[in-house]
Amino acid sequence: MNHLDDSLQSIQIIWIPTIGDIHYKLSEIKNICHQNTIILLSGYSKKKIKKYKDENIQYLSSLAPVYFLWNDLDYSGNYRDLNALLLDYKVTILENTSASFETENGTKFSIIGLDDVKTKRDQLDFALEELYEDNLSILTSYTEVMDSNLNHFNSIQVYLFERSQLNVNRNQKTVYLELQNNKGIRKQDTVTVLNFEVMK
């Protein structure tokens, strides 16, 4: 992205999909985390879950600030229990809200999280009320919104989402990144590590 602040390159976002479905150990994440790491959990599961496990969430919370995005199946389970579990481990739930950060050189940026798009709980206008003016804005959601070619999206530089939809209407200014990455015979979701690359 075009920016004058080189310290943006020290910011690292680790995107972890459906944390409740992960069967491999997350211990390797510790080796890549540093003081400027932000962890984003994209949904809990792709299945209807009745009982939630806290081991992975507890472990990740000990490494870096953790933020959570709802998906549609999260709401089909006992999502109040999941909500309580996340809050117990100081995970910030981004549901039409934003989290603000500042780089070493004083550049402010925000990560905006939409509530579940598929069940029509997303309200970007609410989330934008909390933003700094003229800051870098990164929009996140589990499912991509159908129409992002609206005035609300003019201030969004980057949009990260787990899965896209058919026939979406996108604008020409925002950078779109679909992070669904199924690999192997079991088509298991993998962790994605994102870093800024600054071009002056």
Domain that holds residue 179: 6-195
| pLDDT in the model for residue 142 | 96
In a domain, 190, yes or no: yes
Neighbours of 129 (CB within 10 A): 9
Task: Give the CATH number of the domain where residue 40 resides.
Answer: 3.60.21
| pLDDT in the model for residue 168 | 95
Global confidence as pTM? 0.91
* Chain center to CA of 77: 21
Most confident of 15-19, 91-95, 131-135: 91-95
In a domain, 120, yes or no: yes
- 25-45 pLDDT, tens digit per residue, is 788 888 899 999 999 999 998
In a domain, 200, yes or no: no
Strand ranges (DSSP E) for 73-146?
A: 92-93, 97-102, 108-113, 136-143
In a domain, 76, yes or no: yes
| pLDDT in the model for residue 186 | 41
Q: How many CA atoms lie within 13 A of 84 on its CB side?
A: 6
Strand ranges (DSSP E) for the chain?
A: 12-17, 37-42, 66-69, 92-93, 97-102, 108-113, 136-143, 158-163, 175-178, 182-183, 188-189, 192-195
| pLDDT in the model for residue 200 | 57
In a domain, 107, yes or no: yes
Provide the domain count of the chain: 1
In a domain, 32, yes or no: yes
How confident is residue 48, by pLDDT bands cut at 50, 70 and 90? Answer: confident
- 154-182 pLDDT, tens digit per residue, is 889 999 999 999 999 999 999 999 987 55
- 68-119 pLDDT, tens digit per residue, is 999 999 998 889 999 999 999 999 999 999 999 988 888 888 999 999 999 9
SS3 72: coil
In a domain, 104, yes or no: yes
In a domain, 1, yes or no: no
| Closest to 118 (Cα-Cα) out of 73, 176, 67 | 73
